[in-house]
């Protein structure tokens, strides 16, 4: 049995998990910082890194205790080192390096994007490759061709805001709270998605890229114009219409990509994968196209250590090891 500790601190969740053989989750501890960022309407990088410093050792110890494993019994220590907030990444990286050095364990740096993709391999053991992954979160909006648990190719990405970032910014502008994703998802259920025709930028482009800055601006302009005219605003209709416009382009492009790539499976991952309307729309449209859709449970959509440890198992089996010079990167190194 290969037991790996996975550490994830790429953004604002302090997470650690122990996974056996890349498939059996022995523990998966996640400490959320939402309450500390809520009053700012978004993640404050300095606060995030400071909270990681306070929590990281407690979270790691809890992960080990719940898994009934000691550090000496681990086979390797894995840590997210790219992409993400550098201050946050460095906290997890320093903790991982310290443990690996003290207990003489292999250190493996993990690409956060591979972690999100692997959440579906963890949840659906018989998931095959190649398939397409729609990875959507506060920091990423990507369509990837997944060749294996450790190999992927980015086919399309956002040219400005990530879709989750647009959700947060719209929610902040409307005074709804943070994080914006679940708030808008719930409010939209009481609204009319056809009430306002917001644009879906790049929906007719010939590539697989996305843009959500213009959609966010369209919502702001609409609300400002309605207020200036003295008209009452139906906020559930606004968020439902915004959500429809965002989801429309996500689903259209990933289905088109699946047809172009001649793959019959699409996976959904990342924090926005928890969005109920996105799941329902993607499943409906994919079924009509003869495409299967897989997505992880809610706890595996957001950042977690289990997905990091899972990827690490396959890299460990391939002989991949990181040295003490392993760095933290805000973006994927070229």
Q: Cite the annotated binding site for Fe cation by residue number.
A: 112, 116, 303
Parallel, antiparallel, or unpaired for β 141-148 and 14-20?
unpaired
Return the number of other C-beta atoms located less than 10 Å from residue 23's C-beta: 11
Q: Checking phi first, is residue 186 left (phi over 0); if not, alpha (psi -120 to 50) or beta?
A: alpha
Among left, alpha and beta (phi > 0; psi -120 to 50; other), residue 287 is: alpha
* Secondary structure (DSSP) of 262-283: T-SEEEEESGGGG-HHHHHHHH
Q: What's the CA gap between 107 and 129, in Å, rounded?
A: 27
Hey, what are 221's tokens? Answer: 């302009």
Annotated binding-site residues for substrate read: 135-139, 168, 181, 185, 275
Binding residues: 112, 116, 135-139, 168, 181, 185, 275, 303
- Kindly report whether the peptide bond that precedes residue 320 is cis, defined as omega within 30 degrees of 0: no
Please choose, from the candidates 177, 195, 182, 179, the residue with its C-alpha nearest in 3D space to the C-alpha of residue 236. Answer: 195
**What torsion do the CA atoms of 196, 199, 204, 210 make, to the nearest 10 degrees?**
-130
- Quickly list DSSP for 30-78: EE--HHHHGGGTS--HHHHHHHHHHHHHHHHHHHHHHHT--GGG-SEEE
């Amino acid at each position: 049995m290969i037991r790996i500790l996975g550490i994830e601190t790429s953004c604002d969740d302090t997470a650690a998990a122990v996974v056996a053989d890349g498939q059996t989750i022995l523990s998966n501890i996640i400490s959320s910082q939402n309450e500390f960022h809520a009053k700012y309407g978004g993640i404050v990088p300095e606060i995030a890194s400071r909270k990681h410093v306070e929590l990281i050792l407690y979270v790691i110890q809890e992960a080990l205790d719940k898994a009934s494993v000691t550090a000496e019994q681990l086979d390797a220590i894995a840590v997210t080192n790219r992409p993400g907030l550098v201050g946050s990444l460095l906290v997890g990286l320093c903790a991982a390096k310290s443990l690996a050095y003290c207990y003489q364990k292999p250190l493996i740096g993990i690409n956060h994007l591979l972690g999100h993709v692997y959440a579906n391999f963890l949840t659906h053991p018989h998931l095959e490759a190649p398939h397409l992954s729609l990875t959507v979160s506060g920091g990423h909006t990507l369509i990837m061709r997944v060749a294996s648990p450790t190999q992927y190719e980015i086919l399309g990405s956002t040219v400005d805001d990530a879709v989750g970032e647009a959700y947060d910014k719209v929610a902040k502008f409307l005074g709804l709270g943070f994080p914006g994703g679940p708030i808008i998802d719930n409010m939209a259920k009481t609204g009319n998605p056809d009430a306002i025709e917001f644009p879906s930028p790049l929906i007719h482009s010939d590539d697989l890229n996305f843009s959500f800055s213009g959609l966010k601006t369209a919502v702001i302009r609409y609300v400002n114009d309605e207020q200036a005219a003295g008209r009452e605003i139906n906020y559930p209709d606004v968020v439902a219409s915004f959500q429809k416009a965002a989801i429309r382009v996500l689903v259209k492009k990933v289905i088109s990509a699946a047809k172009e790539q001649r793959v019959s499976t699409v996976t959904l991952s990342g924090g926005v994968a928890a969005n109920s309307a996105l799941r329902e729309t993607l499943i409906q449209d994919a079924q009509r196209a003869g495409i299967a859709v897989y997505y992880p449970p809610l706890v595996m959509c957001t950042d977690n250590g289990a997905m990091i440890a899972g990827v690490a198992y396959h890299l460990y089996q391939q002989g991949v090891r990181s040295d003490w010079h392993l760095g933290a990167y805000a973006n994927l190194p070229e």
